[in-house]
Every structure is written in structure tokens, then in C-alpha cells.
Amino acid sequence: MSCCKIDPNARPDRYKSFVGIDCEGNARRVMALIDQHTVDLQDDKFWKYFHGRRRATSGPACDDLLLLASFVNPIRELFETRQDHEALALLEQLEDECF
């Protein structure tokens, strides 16, 4: 195998390459799930802050991946409380592959 050839059967190693890992797409999917689960939490201070950071027009703005990595524990708690096992699995995949 040459030094520059990528083995399509190899599991991507996030520390060497993000080739084949859809971090941005998975981050968007997790954000969509957060949006669904927090629609009734408009007055919750944390989720108000979280959504405000995502839509920030002044000061530091976070892209989805950074925001998710920064607040993974409250996000996990949200999905656990809502008993959304698919969302938890996707969040875990994102942690394993992209954080």
C-alpha cells in the first residue's frame, strides 16, 4: 500500500483523519433533535443560553460541533430525560468520532 492510498475498509481514526466521517452532518442531526426536544423549554435558562449561542450575531459564535462538544453532558441529560435512545446513540457516535 502506498503512503497516500486510503483503505476504504479501514475504520476512520479521528486522530489521523476525518476522511469518511460526517461530523458536520451528524452535528446538524443532533441539533435538529435538540430543537425538537426543547421546543417546550423556551423559559429554561440553560436552553435559552444554548440557543442564543447558536444564533449569536455579536460576541463569540459557536458552530454546531463546538457547541455540542462544549455542552455534551446537558444534551445527554436532555435525551435521557426524553428517553430518546436514537438521539443518545447519535450523540455517542458524534463524541466517539468528532469530539
Residue at grid coordinates 469518511? 20
Q: How far apart are CA 37 and CA 19, in angstroms?
A: 31
Residue 19 pLDDT level (bands cut at 50, 70, 90): confident
Count of H-run helices and E-run strands, the chain: 5, 0
What's the confidence (pLDDT) of residue 99? 85
DSSP designation for 12: P
Q: What is the pLDDT of residues 2-11, one digit of tens each?
A: 444 555 666 6
What's the confidence (pLDDT) of residue 3? 46
